[in-house]
Amino acid sequence: MIITSSPELGNPQIFTTKTKWASHTSSSSSSSHSSSPNTSSTDTKKLPPSPSPALPILGHLHLLKKPLPQTLSALSKAHGPILSLRFGSRPVLLVSSPSAAEECLTRNDVVFANRPKLLAGKHLGHNYTTLVWASYGQHWRNLRRLVSTQIL
């Protein structure tokens, strides 16, 4: 399972697991800087392990070979059930453990429900207010309810 995230939103905002990479929180502004090679001096998030050679523009795309499922399986066997990758400029969280996937999709589903804030959503989505571009929350739930009553 791959969960993508947005640098603008800082997703994943909260991620708790029983492994040693517990608790990502974007709401805590008093986090200390990590000395992990995955973080920069301005980045306060603690990220799961990552394969070492990330190219500046490509990120980890050079590691992806065919067949893709076997490549991702080999990466997870080498670096653990949860690892962070960069596909181009986008951070990606690779979750290969069933228990961690269950935690992401059931216990922390609201955290991972947001969409990335792209520039297109601001201009084409009327400042992120349409159903396609809206972030998960009360506004999105109202829009979904309205659309579902009109479709059904």
HSE value, Cβ hemisphere, 13 Å, CA-based, for 60: 19
- Distance between CA atoms of 69 and 149, rounded to whole angstroms? 39
What pTM was estimated for this model as a whole? 0.57
- Looking at per-residue pLDDT, the higher value among 81 and 22 belongs to 81
Does 33 have pLDDT greater than 50? no
HSE value, Cβ hemisphere, 13 Å, CA-based, for 48: 26
Contacts of 143 (CB under 8 A, 6+ apart): 130, 131, 134
Average pLDDT over residues 29-39: 40
Q: Which residue has the tokens 């990502």?
A: 24
CB distance 136 to 110 below 8 Å = yes
pLDDT given for residue 114 in this prediction: 83
pLDDT given for residue 129 in this prediction: 92
Does 67 have pLDDT greater than 60? yes
